[in-house]
Each structure stands twice: as C-alpha cells, then as structure tokens.
Amino acid sequence: MVGDHLALDLLNTEMRVGNEAVDLWRSGEDVHAWLERCGLVASVSIAAAEKQTLLVQARELRTLARQLIEQWKNGQMGDVRPLNKFLDGYTSAPQVTADDTGKLVLTRVAKADTVVSALGPVAEAIAQLLTEGELDLVKTCAHPECILWFYDRTKSHKRRWCSMASCGNRYKAAQFRKKVGTN
C-alpha cells in the first residue's frame, strides 16, 4: 500500500519482481484480503461461487483503471462507460459512526453484500482520481525495474520512489557501487 491513493494501490496489485510480472491476486480470497486491508469490507466469508466472480471482476476493474489512468496521464480521454457500469452497480448509503477516538465520522456503507458492492468503493476511487486528482502528482516509481504507482503528496512534490526503503535505497546503493567500482 504505497500508492497513497486507493486507485493507485489497485494498480500496484500487479508488480514486477526482477524481470517477471507478478499478479498479487491469484484467487478471490486474495482480492477479499486486499479489500479488507484497505478497510473496504468487513471480515466476512464470501461464498465459493462469488470468489471466482470477485477475482474476475477485480482484475477487469484493475485493467480498466490502468488503461484510463495511463490515457489520462498521456492527455487522452479514455472511454469511461465501463467504469460507469461498475459505479452503477454500487449501491451505498451514508452512515454516521464513531471512529477509534470516539469522533463521529460520515462513511458510506454498501447496501448489499455482493461482489459489485465490494468493488464499488474502488471504482469510486478511480473516478475520483480521474475527476479531482492532480495529473502531475500521479507518478510511477523512478526505479527502472519498478512499475508501481503513487500519488505524490509530499510538500515539494518531488517524490521519486514508490518506497524509499525499497526502490530508493536499492537504486542509490547500485549507483554508489557503480561509482566506487569505476574509481
């Protein structure tokens, strides 16, 4: 979860390890666990028949998000009708609840426990990024072997790495080794 925006964290469920592409979603359980980590679904079991549907639709939404965000970054308008189909199925209602500190917060709660309701907040995050996000703040990691995305919320907007602890340090160490090796 290095994207700092749900839509970009969705894209980051596909990554590269070495030269190999890795899909972190191999099953409906993987998608459900990701949705849980994002705080979008409660710890409930999904029927076996719905697990495969969840996997297929989540991957479809991710592919659509990647296409729309890449087109948006390239100054093109993508076809948002498929995104609107995901949004159309998402029925939710506002709820007032208390957060961990006891403060009242307004949240949206899905009206049905279905695959569409589970993916609805993700589709909404994609729509929010495309309509309200700042294009220049949506970036990909500067490490040549990394394909992860992030929303640059730093004060100077000069963030380069998906994670300084992994890609940033790895790149800087490699550059240092090159420099030391050439002297």
The pLDDT, as a whole number, for residue 150 is 92
**Of all residues in the chain, what percent are helix, strand and coil, respectively (each to 5)?**
50, 15, 35
Q: Is 98 a domain residue?
A: yes
Domain that holds residue 83: 6-182
Question: CA of 97: how far to CAs of 42, 101, 106, 112, in Å?
Answer: 15, 11, 7, 18
- Number of domains, the chain: 1
CATH number of the structural domain spanning residue 99 = 1.10.3300.10
The pLDDT, as a whole number, for residue 173 is 66
The pLDDT, as a whole number, for residue 147 is 87
Q: Is 1 a domain residue?
A: no
The pLDDT, as a whole number, for residue 177 is 66
| Separation CA 42–CA 135 (nearest Å) | 32
Ranges of the chain with pLDDT below 50: none
| Separation CA 58–CA 114 (nearest Å) | 13
